[in-house]
Amino acid sequence: MIKRTLKQRAEGIFRLINNNSEPIAKSRFKDIGLSSTAADNWLDLIIYIQTQNRIQLFKAGNYTFVDKQVFIDKISSSKYLQLCWNNFLNPKEPHEKRLGYLNDFGNAYFVLERAKFDQEKQ
């Protein structure tokens, strides 16, 4: 028996779901090597994740950033933040330049947050 990674198991589950247009009996998860208990655990996990706030993952070199959807909403409310963020995500830009855009974005974001915090204090 080959031990699969969590990602491989999740890919198998979603492949099974996406390849069927009809509802799937839990017993069909045996076809992809999941026991009834494991299928229950995976489905419970999927249901839990689907009820949570939407998150966004961004990878830049060795860094991974995780944030809630609220973060993305704030970006779209500021044209400068949006410009910096879009330039950072542009794969055609060299990595050094993209890291500079990320730095500019971070500085502007914190200035925006500090101004908002100072405004709420008054």
Distance CA 68, CA 57 (A): 9
Q: What is the pLDDT of residues 35-87, one digit of tens each?
A: 999 999 999 998 888 877 777 677 777 878 776 655 555 555 677 788 888 88
The answer, as to whether pTM is greater than 0.85, is: no
Mean local confidence (pLDDT), 81-95 = 87
95-121 and 79-89 helices, crossing angle to 10°: 150
The answer for 61, left when phi > 0, alpha when psi is -120 to 50, beta otherwise, is left
Domain ranges across the chain: 6-50, 55-121
Q: What is the pLDDT of residue 3?
A: 86
In which band, very low, low, confident or very high, does the pLDDT at 30 lie, cut at 50, 70 and 90?
A: very high
